[in-house]
Amino acid sequence: MNYIGLKTFTFREIERFLRTSVQTILSPLISAALYILIFGVVVGARIDLIAGVKYIDFVLPGIVMLNLINSSFSQTAFSLYFQRFARHIEEVLTAPISYLEMIVGYVVGAVARSVVVGIGIYILAVFFSAATISHFWLFLFYAISVSVIFALLGLLIGLWSDSFEQLSLLNTFLITPLTFLGGVFNSIYMLPEGMQIYVRLNPFFYFVDGFRYSMIGVSESNIWIGIAIILGLILFFGSIVWYLFKIGWRIRN
């Protein structure tokens, strides 16, 4: 194992997002602050308790999760795409660094970015008296494991994309719709009964709901199903990414 190589590669990924911190950190914080202000405070003041809690408390975990997902996905997708585009991925490919070390470096960099953004939003929420954590270890598990899933998905898209347009396709057509339909702003019981079954088939619902449980102790799903889905997706995407790196798909000629 090349520990120094792995550490250097990981720090390089972290330095990359710190170098563009206005876009990678400040921008999601501003958007989260607006979500909290409008949906949590302005609209929330006119909504009764939802699932037994204030609307701002209900909606905050979803807003944090939304940003964790976007941050980790963007970090790996853009980083890998740019490295392929500018060819400086060759620096790593010619170095004594394994595929697994490369993947770990990308993923840890993405989780670091998610954590920085997540902590920032949590601090913001403190000003709106909305920041609570009911189950700390579960909170940590959800924040990190969901970031890992989307970091891996970002790597797949970073490998596959041949243009900036392709890079944003998944975010536009899959991640954003499924997150919004996954109960960020509403309780599943606010939906018609016929629709609830479809929401329960949406893995994003389990990410948001489980994270909400870890923060405010309120859940509308079986937490264990959520944990199983998360671990299954990490294994699934992790295996695909590892295989594609191993065969050098779109990174080696």
Residue 100 as a binder of other proteins (CB under 8 A): the answer is no
Q: Which lies closer to other proteins via its Cβ, residue 193 or residue 253? A: 253
Residue 21 as a binder of other proteins (CB under 8 A): the answer is no
Amino acid making up residue 71 = S
Local structure of 50: helix, strand or coil: strand
CA atoms of 66 and 86, how far apart (whole Å):
30
Task: Please count the other Cβ atoms lying within 10 Å of the Cβ belonging to residue 179.
Answer: 21
Residue 176 as a binder of other proteins (CB under 8 A): the answer is no
Q: Are 108 and 154 in contact (CB under 8 A)?
A: no
Window 68-97: contact mask with other proteins (x via CB under 8 A) = ---------------x--xxx-xxxxxxxx
CA atoms of 78 and 166, how far apart (whole Å):
11
Residue 19 as a binder of other proteins (CB under 8 A): the answer is yes
CA atoms of 128 and 209, how far apart (whole Å):
21
Residue 253 as a binder of other proteins (CB under 8 A): the answer is yes
Residues that bind other proteins (rule: CB under 8 A) add up to a total of: 26
Q: How far is the CB of 22 from other proteins (least distance, A)?
A: 15
Binding site for other proteins (CB under 8 A): 2, 4-5, 7-9, 11-12, 19, 83, 86-88, 90-98, 247-248, 252-253
